[in-house]
Chains A and B, each alone.
Chain A
Amino acid sequence: MVNANKIEPHWWGKTLAGIFAGFFLSIGLVGIFAWLGPDGLTQQITEEQRLWKTQFNMWMITPIWLIILSFVYLFKSSRQAWAWLGGAACVSIAIVAALKEML
């Protein structure tokens, strides 16, 4: 029973999941925020506001990605890391794609 809960190292698998799936997940999350969040893409804002909002969106990708990368080693196995992060990335990107279509 104890062994079933133990964290497997799987360094490469988890690291790669953190890099690739983590990157797309961060972009997806920021994308949802960019569309639906305050001063979003559907709202009328001035050029100056957009200048700063876009920079803000860009800045947010990094902390999200870095936090995913740091905690990816808590997954029990690389398969789990890929399943959860990859799944979440796909869902978030799909939401962004839908928002782009609908709004």
Chain B
Amino acid sequence: MKIRADVLRTYQSVHTWTGISAGLLLFIGFFAGALTMFGSEIDDWATPPHYQMNQIQPAQQDTLLELVFTQYPETLNNVTINYEPDSSPIYWYGQGSARGFSLDDTMWHGTLDEQGELVTALRHVNELSMLVDYLHRSAGIIGEVGHDQAGVYILGIAAFLYFIALISGLIFLLPSLVKSFFALRKEKGANRFWLDSHNLVGVASFPFHIIIAITVVVFSFHDLFYGGLSQVYGDKPLFGGEEQHPEIRYELSELPSLNEIHTKVAQYAPGFSVSSINFRGLTGAHPSASISIVNDKSLMRGPHTDFIFMNPYTLEIDTSSVTNGNGQQGVWGAVVTTFFGLHFGSYGGELGRWLYFIMGLGGAFLFYSGNLIWLEKRRKKQSTEQSKSSHFMANLTVGVCLGCAMGIAGAFAASKWIMLIDVNINIAYMWVYYALFFASILTAFGYGAARFSIIGLYGFAALCLMVPITSLLGLIPQMPLWTPSSTADYGVEIAAIGFAVASILAAKKVQQRVYEGAQNSIWYCPKYTSERTCKRLA
């Protein structure tokens, strides 16, 4: 394909500047985002087996619900029944809520004992996945703006740059695309190899990245857009409308049994199974039940489930995200739901999750390799002295990327140990993460990117290996650590080993380049064993 030279030059500059300014933020977003695909598995792994209370027979749920309503009347406002085998059958927030971000949420768990008596316990919400999700959505940027974290808006802006970088990258790649798409030219030097793999990953996952960029902008700025839209709508309402809702207050005794809700769901969305039911405001003016339903064969709107909103008394369905059900979402609802589903990767079941996991890590690789290419382009090949900005960018790239990876790995490594002491585990995770993250950046600037990349990769591998080592220690009798007990648990352990192996292999490659590669590069650094120290240290 032929494109004018000045257009190519323009978009090459656009690509460089958008990429370099958003790359590191997006790296964190994607690395953590890939892990969020297995959020519930991660929580399952991080939670001691006795932490969730025993699940009960579905038929007993009605009795349980009734007991909870009489003994804990505050649950009439908000309570959740869960049918998943690894979950407590009923729970409600003691402090905090499912919305918003707070570190000291507590949750009541309830179940029935063998005599059919209600047993409850108040516990901290241990959500390791919450840390991962927080990093995914905010890149770990501290601070709040309005009702959201500042980081969410900053990632929203990064998503603009990311979209422009995608389009510009494609434009200036087009002329050579057909020729060199599958070429991975190792023999032409590191620069060419990074460039080829950057292009390969970028083009191969292009549609995925376009979707992610669009959805992130919407997630961050929907308030602004609805504001604009309401100007356009004039006196027409955005939501709700002319239909009158008679205000009827219902008595709790009129609440239909859970079975009737199940029947209604089965009619409305055949093929789905109920995962949980959340009742709200049962004695208020607007009682509602939001029902999470699961069907691996369908594209789902939420991260893990679809939802149905209904009136718990009349079983009238307000709306749902099930577009192949019997609702009135039409093509509009289908498009909106598809956007959500394509961001969350909540379709295609287990396979879809793994694919998104890999594409997420691929995205992280894209931004990391982009920065490396930038550095290679600015390399002065005739001089051992490299520019200050190259050193700065290299230190920052390695420091931030490895810092984020080490921070998360550190939280995983520390998780089971922190459970042994009586502290708020969610706050402890934050300390572990930020301590490792900032230590990593400081060390990167202290020792220089070349030497730190070796230290960092081995450090990351060591932290990853702590995960299975901790679990092995759990095998020692009397040890209060617990061992993995489900496929999800083993999945986390194996993934940790996989990350460790990959990182050791990478460290070996990096070592070669740093100690034996071209000397006229920021990546060159002599071994400590010689008398000379690294140029950066001098």
Query: Which residues in A have some Cβ–Cβ distance to B below 8 Å?
Result: 6-7, 9, 23, 27-28, 30-31, 34-35, 39, 41, 46-59, 61-63, 66-67, 69-71, 73-74, 96, 100
Contacts and interface: CB of A to CB of B under 8 A. Distances in A.
Given A58-B225, A73-B11, A27 B336 contact: no
A82 B339 CA distance: 31
Interface stretch (B55-63, B136-144, B233-241, B471-479): B233-241
A64 to B, nearest CB: 10
B232 A30 contact: yes
B482 to A, nearest CB: 43
Contact of B330 (A39, A62, A73, A100): A39
Given A47-B240, A59-B339, A62-B218, A70 B332 contact: no
B328 A66 contact: no
8 contacts: A48-B327, A52-B329, A52-B333, A56-B332, A59-B336, A62-B217, A69-B163, A73-B14
Given A39-B330, A52-B329, A66 B217 contact: yes
Interface residues of B, number: 43
Contacts of B237: 50
Contacts of A30: 229, 232
A61 B228 contact: yes
Given A66-B163, A69-B164, A52 B229 contact: no
Contact of B243 (A39, A47, A53): A47
B225 A48 contact: no
A7 B229 contact: no
B214 A56 contact: no
B297 interface: no
Interface centre among A7, A9, A58, A96 (most CB of B within 10 A): A58
Q: Which 10 A-B pairs have the closest CB atoms?
A: A31-B232, A52-B333, A56-B332, A70-B167, A100-B234, A52-B332, A27-B228, A66-B163, A48-B328, A41-B236
Given A39-B330, A46-B243, A49-B330, A62 B225 contact: yes
Interface of B: 6-7, 10-11, 13-14, 160, 163-164, 167-168, 213-214, 217-218, 221-222, 225-226, 228-229, 231-234, 236-241, 243, 318-319, 327-330, 332-333, 335-336, 339
Contacts of A48: 318-319, 327-329
A74 B10 CA distance: 8
Contacts of A28: 232
Contact of A27 (B6, B163, B229, B243): B229
The A interface is mostly helix, strand or loop, or mixed, namely helix
Interface centre among A46, A52, A56, A74 (most CB of B within 10 A): A52
A73 B10 contact: yes
A50 to B, nearest CB: 6
A39 B236 contact: no
Nearest to A24: B228
Interface centre among A23, A46, A66, A96 (most CB of B within 10 A): A66
Contacts of A67: 167
A23 B10 CA distance: 22
A35 B237 CA distance: 13
Contact of A54 (B13, B228, B239, B318): B239
B318 to A, nearest CB: 7
Given A47-B241, A55-B333, 6 more contacts: A7-B6, A41-B233, A49-B329, A49-B332, A52-B319, A74-B10
A71 B164 CA distance: 9
A6 B5 CA distance: 10
A70 B243 CA distance: 42
Contacts of B243: 46-47
Contacts of A73: 10-11, 14, 168
Contacts of A58: 218, 222, 225-226, 229
Given A58-B226, A73-B14, A52 B336 contact: yes
Nearest to B218: A62
A77 B339 CA distance: 35
Contact of A46 (B218, B234, B328): B328
Nearest to B338: A59
